[in-house]
Structure 1
Amino acid sequence: MQIHPNTAPTKGFSFGLQPPLAWTAILSLVLFTTLCIMAGAAGILRTAYIGLSFAVAVLLYLRYPVLYISFTWWIWFVTPLVTRLVDLKSGWDPTRFMLVSQYLVTLLTFFTLLKHLPRSLRQGGLPFLLAFIGVFYGFLIGLVKTSPMTAARGLLDWITPIVFSFHLFINWRDYPQYRQNFQTTFLWGVLVTGAYGIYQFLVAPEWDVFWLTSTKLTSMGDPEPLMLRVWSTMPSPAPFAAMMMAGLLLLFANKNVLRIPASAVGYLSFLLTSVRTLWGGWFVAFITMVAALKAQLQMRLIITILIMSICIIPLTTVKEFSETIGNRFETFSNLENDDSAQVRQKIYEDGLNSALTNALGNGVGNTFIVDDKGVLQPIVIDSGILDMFFTLGWFGAVFYLGGMVMLVLKVFQFSESRFDSFIAAARAIGLGMISTLAGNSGMLALPGMILWGFLALAMAGHQYYLHQRITNVNATGVNSNEYKRGI
């Protein structure tokens, strides 16, 4: 997890913890959390964890902005697991209040939006502004149709990916450091959460079983070994699969020796999530990434895939894993008898007309609708596209989707992906996540941060290389305006 803003990407092991002040704060949070759980004082963490994680984030945001990015990702990765451990020790908390910490840590980037929004429009920040307008409109409708607290809670899921991605985009001058940061963070993220995911599947730890039985979520499998749909350290299989999809694709652009064991545990746990939508998203992203690279980089990528396959395929044939993975793959050829596919089809049939005819929208956080008998019914929308129109209405959805489409069109006009494999991976991950929106609300919370964040970083990379080229041209005495018109 070592990230230093002034070092180049490493090719081997690197365990230095720099800068000392930042890592002292981070390790203090880790140590305090561990001691509270082990000493039987886990209840303290229900408020202390939120305050301490936010305090560490403020320090990093102000003084160590690159390390702040890594810390933010890790808070999203591990906070749900910490919450489950606290619940096991101190009793079930249905409010899930501790999970607010990941939103507070991320929302520090809202200050970046306030500070840089006016000038960002000249640099290509319009997509983020459009999406923000769409979500803010949905929030106003939510205030009218539901309570302020409920609307504010729903707003967190929608707004954090936008402000976080804007922060990445506007700090394009730090693109090389952000690139290294993402590679290192997701390398360790895949390795750690992937290994835990396999452990979770084989053992079914008591804190995960307690959480599963308390929530009564039957869609996540049975609370016993070899019967779970893996969600690792995260809140459910879909966010974990989204993180794993992004991390596994980034490993193709990573030269660290740990990418091989990370790939082995990562792909196995990714398959054990049984999230077919994200499997399809990985395939779309992989094809997009390969097509963007130069022939030399494509050949290097193919060699990497062969090496990884030698390590991964034998694991999937192990009896404990093969049956679960094989049964899920068989459903692709038998969708008419698949419960999940039938449920999603029913959702589309029931929700399509309601979503597209709801001009004003139901509002952010308003997850109930009045049925024909006048009874409030919870809304189940397992589709990002329907969710946008149902929640934001036509007005908000047009702005939000317009910003997303504009961002995608921009990043696929850039040529830097031919020589920068990270940009190729970043924009492929963004497109792969968008391809999942038909069957998954992948624009919210952690999946949304992956969707918007990687597209934003691809834009930041373009801005960085463009600035470098213009600077080099000016240094050689060529007129910069003529150069701009030619690129």
Structure 2
Amino acid sequence: MERIFGISASALPAGLRRLILLACVIALGGMVGVAGATGSLHMRLLEFTLLILSMMAALRIHFKRPHALVPYALLMWVVSPELRRLLDWSFRSYSDTSLISLIPYCVSLTMLIPIIKNIKQLDRKVGLLLKILGAALIYGFGVGFLKYGFSSVFDLLNYIVPFLVLAYVSVSRFDQDVRDQWLRSFGYLAVIVAAYGIYQYMVLPPWDQFWMISSEMKSIGPAEPQKFRVFSLLNSPGPTGVFLAVALAIMTVQKRWRAFGVVGIMVVAFALLLTLVRVGWIAYVVMVFAYFIRSQLKSKMQLLTLGIIIAFAYQFLLPVLPGGSQVASRIDTFGSLEEDHSFNERLHFSTHIFSSVLANPVGMGLGSSGLGAKLTQNSDTLVVFDNGYLNVFYTFGLPLGLTVIALLGYLFVYLYKVSRMDRMYSPISLAAISAVLFLLFASNVLRGLSGFILMLVISVAFMPTASNRGEQ
């Protein structure tokens, strides 16, 4: 095996070759162990095969077409939940854990190869952010591992992978137009997610129905066509709403980032409405407004025109579309939040958790909340956490929690200042960090898919320019 994916193995540094080999051995042993420990060996082996194939494709892309690695990783984040549902339905077997769920994490970890190789080229500001965040994660992992085991490992991955994008972009030597390719590919993927979501809402495919019934997610609604909240290819309406909202904002503010023009925008907007995720629309408005105040005059006029078109479409088209009345009634609750059951539950939850944080200022550690909490039977864990700021304090404790929040504030101030000079990419990054600061009031968007897409948009402001490369 002189060559691996078209590149000579001897061309890689010896330390990097050993690291890759060790990672492959650990991953292979771990996955085989998990597959052998399950009841449905045939299904697990198929999942394992798909996992290996996706990782091989990621390595191939990294060595042959590195600029396509980020869109490929984003694709894996989006399609892996639906792929899992198809397999579960085919085998008539449902489990809270699946090797398919590891695909986006393993694919994204491929970014470590160029990061390790070019670590000295890391932007100093990005490096400082990652060091402080790394200290918080080490502390959180140390506190959580003894109590929650593998759950804390999964939670650690959920935090690490999104912030890898910042480091990856900072050390990469891509042309500037790669940023446009990434944002445009985000738009195309959003249209696909939206189109499938609309189809899902109209007919409800049997594999999605099987998952809705088996997972017992009552908050989605009844498993009947046109009576549930759309989740499309993703796991639930919440992440779907955030994904579509961020993509819709990107497609709105710049023509060059749109997929299928105004038609694509309308498709994504309608699918976002069908998710019934109110914070998604508020995040969209926050992003567009943040971009508006820092963009050029021409962009501002285009935004105003497009805003008028969307307003007219909502006023005249929505009432005649399937599910329009349900969407309209959901939006009407903005004016009477004190009477909304969901809002009152969130408020009660936040009050309770705030008391818990004050009672335990050292934090519960990684694995105490989120999807990773499903992997443990510990009664201290909370799978659903309806306030991202409190989740940070609940996980890392008050001192480190405040540090993490301060980092986000610093990132906002930095991007606000930089956007005075760069009127194209820094404003959309500013819009993304603005969305992060808002969305944290609803859920912890720093990890998983939400964290990945938001950090991806933030990272375009940190892509090295030609002058930066000359200085390096």
TM range (shorter): 0.7 to 0.9
Structure 2 counterpart of 1:301: 303
Structure 2 residue 137 is the aligned partner of structure 1 residue 135: yes
Q: 1:78–1:233: 8 Å Cα contact kept in structure 2? A: yes
**Shift in CA distance, 304/176, structure 1 to aligned 2, threshold 3 Å:** farther
2:405 to 401, 407, 412: 401
Deviation per CA, 1:212-260: give whole Å up to 9, x if none: 1111011111110111111110111111111111211111313357122
Q: 1:57–1:105: 8 Å Cα contact kept in structure 2? A: yes
Q: 1:145–1:362: 8 Å Cα contact kept in structure 2? A: no
Q: Work out the CA distance in 2 between the residues paired with 1:114 and 1:356.
A: 39
Q: Work out the CA distance in 2 between the residues paired with 1:135 and 1:313.
A: 47
Q: Work out the CA distance in 2 between the residues paired with 1:238 and 1:229.
A: 10
Q: Work out the CA distance in 2 between the residues paired with 1:406 and 1:123.
A: 10
Instruction: Give TM-score, length-normalised by structure 1.
Output: 0.80
**Shift in CA distance, 257/244, structure 1 to aligned 2, threshold 3 Å:** closer
Deviation of residue 102 (structure 1)? 0.7
Q: 1:290–1:298: 8 Å Cα contact kept in structure 2? A: yes
Deviation of residue 415 (structure 1)? 3.4
Deviation of residue 311 (structure 1)? 6.0
**Shift in CA distance, 179/417, structure 1 to aligned 2, threshold 3 Å:** farther
**Shift in CA distance, 123/313, structure 1 to aligned 2, threshold 3 Å:** same
Deviation per CA, 1:158-202: give whole Å up to 9, x if none: 11111122212332x425243122222112112111111111111
Structure 2 counterpart of 1:431: 434
How many residue pairs match? The answer is 419
Q: Work out the CA distance in 2 between the residues paired with 1:305 and 1:333.
A: 21
Structure 2 counterpart of 1:415: 419
**Shift in CA distance, 108/227, structure 1 to aligned 2, threshold 3 Å:** same
**Shift in CA distance, 446/425, structure 1 to aligned 2, threshold 3 Å:** same
Q: Work out the CA distance in 1 between the residues paired with 2:117 and 2:414.
A: 23
Structure 2 residue 386 is the aligned partner of structure 1 residue 382: yes
Q: For residue 128 of structure 2, what is the amino acid of its counterpart? A: L
Deviation of residue 116 (structure 1)? 4.0
Residue 67 of structure 2 aligns to a residue in which SS? helix
Q: 2:415–2:427: 8 Å Cα contact kept in structure 1? A: no
Structure 2 residue 455 is the aligned partner of structure 1 residue 452: yes
1:220-299 maps to which residues of 2 (within 5 A)? 220-252=220-252, 253-255=254-256, 258-299=260-301
Q: For residue 435 of structure 2, what is the amino acid of its counterpart? A: G
Deviation of residue 128 (structure 1)? 2.4
**Shift in CA distance, 198/305, structure 1 to aligned 2, threshold 3 Å:** same
Deviation per CA, 1:414-473: give whole Å up to 9, x if none: 1366532x432232123113211011111110111122222222232xx427649x99xx
Q: Work out the CA distance in 1 between the residues paired with 2:125 and 2:436.
A: 25
Q: Work out the CA distance in 2 between the residues paired with 1:67 and 1:223.
A: 37
Q: Work out the CA distance in 2 between the residues paired with 1:166 and 1:381.
A: 28
Deviation of residue 208 (structure 1)? 1.0
**Shift in CA distance, 366/406, structure 1 to aligned 2, threshold 3 Å:** same
Q: Work out the CA distance in 1 between the residues paired with 2:204 and 2:156.
A: 33
Q: Which runs of 5+ in 2 are unaligned?
A: 1-41, 371-377
Structure 2 counterpart of 1:96: 98
Deviation per CA, 1:383-411: give whole Å up to 9, x if none: 11011111111343244223322222211
**Shift in CA distance, 378/144, structure 1 to aligned 2, threshold 3 Å:** closer
Q: 1:362–1:391: 8 Å Cα contact kept in structure 2? A: yes
Deviation of residue 298 (structure 1)? 1.2
Deviation per CA, 1:77-99: give whole Å up to 9, x if none: 11101111111001213213311
Structure 2 residue 68 is the aligned partner of structure 1 residue 67: yes
Q: For residue 412 of structure 2, what is the amino acid of its counterpart? A: V
Deviation of residue 351 (structure 1)? 0.1
Deviation of residue 357 (structure 1)? 3.9
Q: Larger deviation: 406-415 or 116-125?
A: 116-125
Q: Work out the CA distance in 1 between the residues paired with 2:369 and 2:406.
A: 24
1:40-119 maps to which residues of 2 (within 5 A)? 45-90=46-91, 91-119=93-121
Deviation per CA, 1:252-311: give whole Å up to 9, x if none: 313357122211110001111111122111111111111111212211333344456666
**Shift in CA distance, 381/43, structure 1 to aligned 2, threshold 3 Å:** closer
Structure 1 counterpart of 2:159: 158
Q: 1:131–1:402: 8 Å Cα contact kept in structure 2? A: no
Q: For residue 276 of structure 2, what is the amino acid of its counterpart? A: S
Q: Work out the CA distance in 1 between the residues paired with 2:308 and 2:466.
A: 31
Q: Work out the CA distance in 1 between the residues paired with 2:427 and 2:175.
A: 14
Q: Larger deviation: 173-182 or 267-276?
A: 173-182
Q: 1:128–1:403: 8 Å Cα contact kept in structure 2? A: no
Q: For residue 53 of structure 1, what is the amino acid of its counterpart? A: S
Equivalent pairs: percent with the same residue? 23
**Shift in CA distance, 112/55, structure 1 to aligned 2, threshold 3 Å:** same
Q: 2:229–2:275: 8 Å Cα contact kept in structure 1? A: yes
**Shift in CA distance, 415/376, structure 1 to aligned 2, threshold 3 Å:** closer
Deviation of residue 325 (structure 1)? 0.8
Q: Work out the CA distance in 1 between the residues paired with 2:206 and 2:394.
A: 38
**Shift in CA distance, 332/254, structure 1 to aligned 2, threshold 3 Å:** same
Q: For residue 458 of structure 2, what is the amino acid of its counterpart? A: L
Deviation of residue 121 (structure 1)? 5.4
Q: 1:361–1:391: 8 Å Cα contact kept in structure 2? A: yes
Q: 2:287–2:432: 8 Å Cα contact kept in structure 1? A: yes
